[in-house]
């Protein structure tokens, strides 16, 4: 039985990760901002007794990250796979009107949070385990062809760098580190015109994560949900 930890687990892709993992018999620690209001997650706790632990976590707040990491440490278990899924996107940004708060809050959520949480939980992460961040094709500098969603795109490009750096920091423990794009998915963030249902995106990503193994020649890779490399 594999122990997963997933952030932003109360809706969207995070919730679907939890659902598919519980259904296949794995154990999950789920972080979300308001466990008391996480109805679907809490129903899973009842349906899969002993397999799901829900803990409060706001990834943009270093104090919340530290408190979450302490609570996880108190569970005295080791994590096989840590998935940084929590993320935010400010829509409707226009050149000339991009606000400092949008840039800084998006960076705190999408980049700083995963980096600090990886550091804080590194002692609980198993040697030979996996560290995965849900990134985005919009974080690919090489593919950027328009002034799109700058706060988000900058934060995901920086997240990719954070994962590459963490890959090197954790290489001596043979922890495989990956930035993984889910594709364009029908969630609150992706919207109803997106290409993929959450169930399909998660099934694809779980295949990539299951196949992931430490490889010195591929530290901190950036892959799509088909397992193919995305250019930086």
Ligand X SMILES: NC(=O)c1ccc[n+]([C@@H]2O[C@H](COP(=O)([O-])OP(=O)(O)OC[C@H]3O[C@@H](n4cnc5c(N)ncnc54)[C@H](OP(=O)(O)O)[C@@H]3O)[C@@H](O)[C@H]2O)c1
Is residue 224 a contact residue for ligand X (CB under 6 A)? no
Q: Which of 196, 136, 184 is nearest to 160 (CA)?
A: 136
Can you list the positions of beta strands (E) in 14-109?
A: 27-32, 52-56, 79-84
Q: Please give the residues from 109 up to 138 whose contact with ligand X meets the rule CB under 6 A.
A: 109, 134, 136
Query: Judged by CB, which is closer to ligand X: 86, or 176?
Result: 86
Rule CB under 6 A: choose which of 57, 69, 112, 223 binds ligand X: 57
Instruction: Look at the block and give the residue holding tokens 């399909």.
Output: 200
Least CB distance to ligand X at residue 5 (A): 13
CB atoms within 10 A of CB 30: 29
Binding test (CB under 6 A) with ligand X, winner from 76, 188, 192, 216 = 188
Q: Which stretch binds ligand X (CB under 6 A): 5-13, 65-73, 74-82, 143-151?
A: 5-13
Q: Provide the 8-state DSSP code for 85.
A: -
Among 29, 157, 189, 209, binds ligand X (CB under 6 A): 189
DSSP annotation of 230 reads P
Closest CA to 220 of 149, 160, 136: 160
3-state class percentages of the chain: helix first, strand second, coil last, to nearest 5: 45, 20, 40
Give the binding site for ligand X (CB under 6 A).
Answer: 7-8, 10-14, 32-33, 57-60, 85-88, 109, 134, 136, 181-182, 184-185, 187-190, 194
């Amino acid at each position: 039985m594999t122990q997963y930890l997933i952030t932003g687990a109360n809706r969207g892709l995070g919730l679907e990760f939890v659902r598919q993992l519980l259904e296949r018999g794995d154990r999950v620690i789920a972080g979300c901002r308001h466990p008391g209001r996480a109805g679907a997650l809490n129903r899973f706790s009842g349906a899969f007794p002993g397999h799901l632990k829900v803990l409060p976590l706001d990834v943009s707040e270093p104090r919340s990250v530290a408190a979450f990491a302490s609570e996880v440490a108190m569970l005295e278990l080791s994590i096989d796979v840590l998935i940084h899924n929590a993320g935010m996107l400010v829509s409707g940004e226009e050149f000339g009107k991009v606000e400092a708060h949008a840039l800084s809050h998006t960076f705190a959520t999408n980049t700083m949070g995963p980096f600090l949480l990886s550091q804080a939980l590194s002692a609980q992460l198993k040697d030979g385990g996996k560290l995965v961040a849900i990134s985005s094709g919009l974080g690919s500098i090489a593919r950027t062809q328009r002034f799109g969603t700058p706060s988000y795109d900058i934060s995901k490009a920086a997240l990719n760098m954070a994962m590459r750096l963490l890959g090197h920091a954790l290489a001596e423990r043979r922890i495989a580190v990956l930035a993984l794009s889910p594709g364009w998915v029908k969630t609150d963030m992706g919207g109803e015109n997106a290409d993929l249902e959450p169930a399909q995106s998660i099934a694809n990503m779980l295949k990539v994560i299951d196949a992931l193994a430490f490889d010195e020649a591929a530290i901190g890779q950036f892959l799509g949900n088909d397992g193919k490399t995305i250019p930086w």
